[in-house]
Amino acid sequence: MWSTVGQRCSASSEDQPCRKGSSGEREGTKAVASTYPDIKVGAIPVVAGTLYKFACEVQVGDRIIYPSKVDRKINLGMIDSDYIFDARGGLAPNIRKVKWSKQYDRTDFSQSALYEIGSAVTLFRSRITLKNF
């Protein structure tokens, strides 16, 4: 879905689009609404907020938990780059490089941890305790 919304952050912007409440954040909401005119009104801030968090709030060194639906593994990694927008990226022009470190079977996690990471439809800060890793 993000591929046609466009770049969300620019280091050269005078308005600091990654500042909460900035015009960059507001423009993201407008960009989602105009790019997807059939989107439900309630979904607009969710989609725009997820892209905003990905582009502006995630930091180099943040840990990533990715539950793969392909092989049903839980993948752990660390953000290894600032936000990159590559218009040649096709379906994935919004990029953060990740250094993947470990892969686990789902059985290695508590049921509550699986519920937390499995139900995520957005980008969020996990409350899972470190004992799960």
pLDDT digits (tens, 9 = 90+) for 57-103: 899 999 888 888 899 999 999 999 999 888 887 778 888 999 999 99
Q: Domain tally for the chain?
A: 1
Domain that holds residue 79: 1-105
Instruction: Indicate if the pLDDT at residue 131 is higher than 60.
Output: no
pLDDT given for residue 34 in this prediction: 87
Instruction: Indicate if the pLDDT at residue 44 is higher than 90.
Output: no
Residue 133 forms part of a structural domain? no
Q: What is the pTM of this model?
A: 0.73
Average pLDDT rounded to a whole number, residues 46-65: 88
% the chain with pLDDT above 70: 71
Residue 119 forms part of a structural domain? no
- What would the two tokens of residue 62 be? 């943040």
Residue 22 forms part of a structural domain? yes
Residue 114 forms part of a structural domain? no
pLDDT given for residue 40 in this prediction: 92
Residue 128 forms part of a structural domain? no
- Is the distance from CB of 120 to CB of 127 less than 8 angstroms? no
- Is the distance from CB of 94 to CB of 73 less than 8 angstroms? no
Residue 124 forms part of a structural domain? no
pLDDT given for residue 11 in this prediction: 45
Q: Pick the residue with more confidence: 31 or 97?
A: 97
Residue 47 forms part of a structural domain? yes
Residue 67 forms part of a structural domain? yes
- Weakest-pLDDT range from 14-23, 61-70, 107-116: 14-23
Q: How many CB atoms lie within 10 A of CB 56?
A: 20
Identify which of 133, 92, 114, 96 has the alpha carbon closest to the alpha carbon of residue 4: 92
pLDDT given for residue 6 in this prediction: 58
